[in-house]
Amino acid sequence: MKIKERAIVSLLCAVTICVSWSGFMSRNLPQDQRPCACERCLSEDDPWFMKRFNKSVEPFLSANYNLSEDDFSWWKGLWGEKTKFGTFRKLLDKVFLMIPPSPHVLEPSPDRCRTCFEADVGARTTHRVMYPESSVDLGDSTHFLMAPFKSIDFEWLLDALNTGYNATPEWIVNRKITANKDLVKIINPVFMRYVHDMWLEKEGYYPSTGFLALVLALHMCDEVSVFGYGADSDGNWSHYWEELVDKMVKTGGHPGNTEYEIIQKLHELQKLKFYTGF
């Protein structure tokens, strides 16, 4: 029995040493061979993470991006739209006459650490992910990242940043907002589909805006810190810009439990730091 116990202990020690050595070696490669200058880089080592993380997906739309009709059909199906592909392309062309046609994203490099933890977190907004229904006025230095869920969101963007949006949908409250047009980026429908298919494994109708923002941060940053995710004691997500009226909404069409479990898993794998507040 003791021999068996010694064998098991020896095996566990060997596995621990191998795992530790693997992590040690990845962090102690010559700097020019590492993807970033952080203590730990997101893209290093983990099969579970690398199965889901596709660094080749373009996070943002650009004037020259070739959105396929298949991806467009998936996206317009989110709200059961009937917009034709050609009509959508013409709408995009108008949008990119107003905002930068080629959004700048800082690329990973061995000589820098792109951190998504700002020293003034909670005091100043550097980036804000919004859609028409959640829109607010932004400061001149704040990046507006629009999460488009329907064609009308692009029409709203064109007008809301100019003379004001005057079409009929009553659910759009803010018809004119203040924002720096040079700092507007539009989240790519292909990126939204990637998050739904790869990260959420097609659970729910589509990802929540918060989860989209989180995966976006994993693509834009080498270090990510996360605050304020999860449901309240009633199982509802509370929007910080409005009082929750429907106490039975829970997490809506989003797979809230799955999203939360993935965030916890990313924290366990040290891909991000998750501050729950309790």
- Please report which confidence band the pLDDT of residue 245 belongs to, taking 50, 70 and 90 as the band edges: low
Q: Which residues of 49-69 are buried (b: 16+ CB within 10 A; e: fewer)?
A: beebbeeeeebbbbeebebee
Q: What is the pLDDT of residue 16?
A: 28
Residue pointed to by tokens 């061979």: 33
Mean pLDDT, to the nearest integer, of 146-168? 92
What's the CATH code, domain 42-275?
3.90.1480.20
Q: What is the pLDDT of residue 37?
A: 81
CA 171 to chain centre: 24
Top-confidence residue, 31 or 95:
95
Top-confidence residue, 107 or 170:
107
Mean pLDDT of the chain: 79
- For residue 5, report the phi and psi dihedrals to the nearest 5 degrees: -60, -45
Q: What is the pLDDT of residue 11?
A: 30
Nearest to 40 by CA among 51, 18, 25, 56: 25
- Annotated catalytic residue 219: no
Residue of 165, 194, 196, 254 marked catalytic: 254
Q: Which residues of 242-265 are buried (b: 16+ CB within 10 A; e: fewer)?
A: eeeeeeeeebeebbbebbbebbee
Top-confidence residue, 266 or 108:
266
Residue of 165, 194, 196, 206 marked catalytic: 206
- Annotated catalytic residue 206: yes
Q: What is the pLDDT of residue 239?
A: 53
Mean pLDDT, to the nearest integer, of 86-113? 90
pLDDT digits 0-9 by tens, 35-58? 788 877 776 578 999 999 998 999
pLDDT higher than threshold 60 for residue 9:
no
SS3 112: coil
Top-confidence residue, 78 or 2:
78
pLDDT digits 0-9 by tens, 104-127? 887 777 877 877 665 656 667 788
Q: What residue ranges do the domains of the chain occupy? A: 1-33, 42-275
pLDDT higher than threshold 80 for residue 243:
no
Structure tokens at 197: 């298919």
DSSP letter at 239 equals P
Top-confidence residue, 113 or 138:
138
- For residue 56, report the phi and psi dihedrals to the nearest 5 degrees: -85, -10
pLDDT higher than threshold 60 for residue 151:
yes
pLDDT digits 0-9 by tens, 51-87? 999 989 999 999 999 999 999 999 999 999 999 999 9
pLDDT higher than threshold 90 for residue 192:
yes
- For residue 24, report the phi and psi dihedrals to the nearest 5 degrees: -65, -45
